[in-house]
Structure 1
């Protein structure tokens, strides 16, 4: 299974399990994660959610081959089911990042409540490099934690940055040795699971309620632009270059 879902001691764990493809996410994986989030919401025994990757890799983002075969289309597509689920989750969501997080691998972290990363982890938002635009409300959320210029540098240039910078920007809580990050994140999730569920639920709702409508609106607006840009010549050139293992040439486009 490319997504492993486990329940133990009040924690539902969603784990990427496709290390041979750097945990690149397919439509089927989005659906499995979306379904797991629905189950977590309806299962009273689940008090916290933990999302993790593999040792050495969190996620390389969308599987471009699969993405081209079945691009996200409409609010009921697997990717948007997942985004709705993680962005509106009432229960605490903890992430463990033990390696590179690319694209959606980084933007999903902006919806988590606690993020713990390996000192060697890296992050990138290469949307403009692919002829695309931000998704998952990252154009809104990243500047809220990093400020406009900090977000602009990451979203406009699309260059990778290290874990220390991610922590400085504000969306990573703590850095740990790579061998310790999963265990630490799990321990934090277990602490949450031992606390009163109603207190956690109300506290999270109070912190997020004012922004929730804006986040959902931003996800929808980004999706409209993303869908159009996915069919544009710039994206076709970027994807062609990716598969041909060369740098794309955007000089031909206005």
Structure 2
């Protein structure tokens, strides 16, 4: 049964799966504040006996992060609020989250991976944080990634000094398993069936994580650093660099 295709999401609930697909390929699945809010609402509404499946309708990209046109146009406060609410919903989800990802996962796209319980990735997955090229440090991305990765590696990502290829994401624990990109959709579906058939174990894992200290620690850290996001955006030259990038992009 299809529930919604509003904003940039397609949602389907059937056979104990709550499937959510990012569906804005022409904009690289960039998330607006409205899309983040919708995603948050769907995740928060999942039943404990369901498995949330997060994926993209595109075979070559996962999520480019937040919609920079929106936030440079004055929507940054709304995006910050919506992203914090989405992070909270994923971190405290009562249902396990299985993410199927191929292609690029940037910025907030990396957050979606880090907050998932299981990540089935294609071998073309690339995880990156491009914000620093504009002079913006991805403060919220850093906080979430540090819950999964070593701080030094997160710093390298957040200043744009490195990206993570699929094999590296697997070795570091950000990806659970990596499959060949050729035939990925069918192979990933088989792995999803494998996990769904063991939903009791996934539910136990999720409950244990919700009871652990990491979730509470992340919430406190986000609350402390979130005000720095708007301050950073207001630094000299940041908005100008973003506008220049968008202008060049529109001419292609």
Q: TM-score, normalised by structure 1?
A: 0.83
Matches within 5 A, 1:60-71: 60-71=64-75
Which of 160, 163, 168 is residue 165 of structure 1 equivalent to?
168
Equivalent position of 1:58 in the other structure: 62
Per-residue deviation, 1:167? 1.6
Per-residue deviation, 1:63? 1.4
User: What whole-Å deviation, never above 9, does each CA across 1:121-158 have from its counterpart, x for those lacking one?
Assistant: 2110123223222344x434434543232222112235
Count of paired positions: 241
Equivalent position of 2:39 in the other structure: 33
Equivalent position of 1:237 in the other structure: 240
Alpha-carbon distance change, 118 to 227 in structure 1, aligned in 2, over 3 angstroms: same
Which of 101, 114, 119 is residue 118 of structure 2 equivalent to?
114
Asked if 1:83 is matched to 2:87, the reply is yes
Asked if 1:156 is matched to 2:159, the reply is yes
Alpha-carbon distance change, 47 to 16 in structure 1, aligned in 2, over 3 angstroms: same
User: What whole-Å deviation, never above 9, does each CA across 1:55-105 have from its counterpart, x for those lacking one?
Assistant: 111011111112223524379933222221112112110111111111111
Per-residue deviation, 1:206? 2.2
Asked if 1:3 is matched to 2:9, the reply is yes
2:62–2:103 CA contact under 8 A, matched in 1:
yes
2:113–2:174 CA contact under 8 A, matched in 1:
yes
| Structure 2, unaligned runs of 5 or more | none
Q: Secondary structure at the match of 2:19?
A: strand
Q: Secondary structure at the match of 1:89?
A: coil
| Structure 1, unaligned runs of 5 or more | 247-254
Q: TM-score, normalised by structure 2?
A: 0.84
Please, what is the CA RMSD of the aligned residues? Answer: 2.5
Return structure 1 stretches of 4+ with deviation > 6 angstroms. Answer: none
